[in-house]
Homo-oligomer: A and B are copies of this chain.
Amino acid sequence: MTARIDLDNLPALSLGCTVFAGGGGGDPRIGELMAMVAIRALGPVDVRPIDAFDDDDLVMPCGMIGAPTVMVEKIPNGAEGRVIRESYERHFGRPVAAVMPFEMGGINGVLPVAWAAYADLPLLDGDFMGRAFPELQMLTPHLYGMPGSPAVITDERLQTIVFTTRDNVWLEKLVRNSVAALGGSACGGLYPMTVGQARRPAIPGTVTRAIRMGEAILRSTDDPLAAIAEVAPLLRLGQGKVIDIERRTAGGFVRGSALVEGLGEDKGRLFRLEFQNENLVVIEDGEPLATVPDIITLLDIHTGHGIVTEMIRYGQRVEIVAFPAPEVWTSAEGLLAVGPRAFGYDFDFVPVADRVSGGARA
């Protein structure tokens, strides 16, 4: 079942990516504009399920790496996808057959569409996170012992750095360090592999799901949350107003926190949201209400649009929601890589569905 990304549904894809980003992946607006230019010039991009490819086909998982606060000001050149592709084709001695977003959230859900259009290649309908995460060992292939190397990064000057490391934690350290030296963000390819190798780690259908999500929000007239819940079950954690936001950009990440004061039926409650590129935890009364790997998203209360961490502003009216984590992340190995303790918190993951009494209110 091949879908297509064209000028009509690109805004829906972009919007869907703000919902599944968990606050990260970078604001998709620039990626959407780049994909728009590419599609206008070269036509729509086919989105194919993994089963539509041959086992031997070479997949290029790609996206931006770095601090979202930087990405919105340090605009890509447009040719980064070509440079990454050429680097992999030289390395593997054969052509790339499919472009794939390594994370399906924020700008990284739409920028690969531009690169696929320029390369006249299909986009694989899936990703390696089922959301967005900040570090390079936080991709599903890592759980199966697959190497992120060779990883390629390139900047808007089209300089390239190719890393072959001992393990994926070293890869994260060395790539992050170079991304910081390149100004805080860069484009990159990670975990190159064949379709046969990608079958196990790939989380299927996440591209078309983001399109469906965006379309549902755009269609909804009065209750965007209900429209969102129809596409993906969600849990409402509370609604309120952003009364404080603190962010710092350093070492290739943006870290910070926001305070949300309850409004309406949540009046009197106070939520603290903490993030490292992506939203990590929501804390209420000193206790975690929701944590990674569940997907914590701030939604604009009026439009239902997801608010990525670098776009959180004082005074925004938000609904704090969570989507249950992709199943792969709630295994013991998954939690070791992306559970709260992987981010330095001294508590274990408890699924948000078990914590929020009454379950989904939407």
Contact = CB atoms under 8 A, between A and B. Distances in A.
Contacts of A177: 177-178, 180-181
A129 to B, nearest CB: 24
Contacts of A178: 161, 174, 177-178, 181
Contacts of A162: 160-162
A173 to B, nearest CB: 6
A220 interface: no
A165 B160 CA distance: 6
A44 B122 CA distance: 56
Interface string A154-176: 00011111111110001001100
A237 to B, nearest CB: 38
B159 A161 contact: no
Interface string A177-217: 11011100000000000000000000000000000000000
How many copies of the chain does the oligomer comprise?
A: 2
A160 B170 CA distance: 11
Contacts of A174: 159, 161, 178, 181-182
Contacts of A180: 177
Contact of A166 (B157, B161, B163, B165): B157
B170 A164 contact: no
- The dominant DSSP class at the A interface is mixed
A216 to B, nearest CB: 44
Contacts of A159: 163-166, 170, 174
A78 to B, nearest CB: 17
Contact of A173 (B160, B164, B166, B181): B181
A177 B93 CA distance: 30
Nearest to A158: B166
Nearest to A83: B164
A107 to B, nearest CB: 24
A103 B178 CA distance: 25
A188 to B, nearest CB: 13
Interface string A133-173: 00000000000000000000000011111111110001001
A313 B158 CA distance: 46
Nearest to A163: B161
Contacts of A173: 181
Nearest to A152: B162
Nearest to A90: B91
A166 B158 CA distance: 8
Contacts of A166: 157-159
A184 to B, nearest CB: 13
Contacts of A161: 161-164, 174, 178
A63 to B, nearest CB: 20
A163 B163 CA distance: 9
8 contacts: A158-B166, A159-B163, A159-B164, A160-B163, A161-B161, A161-B178, A177-B177, A177-B178
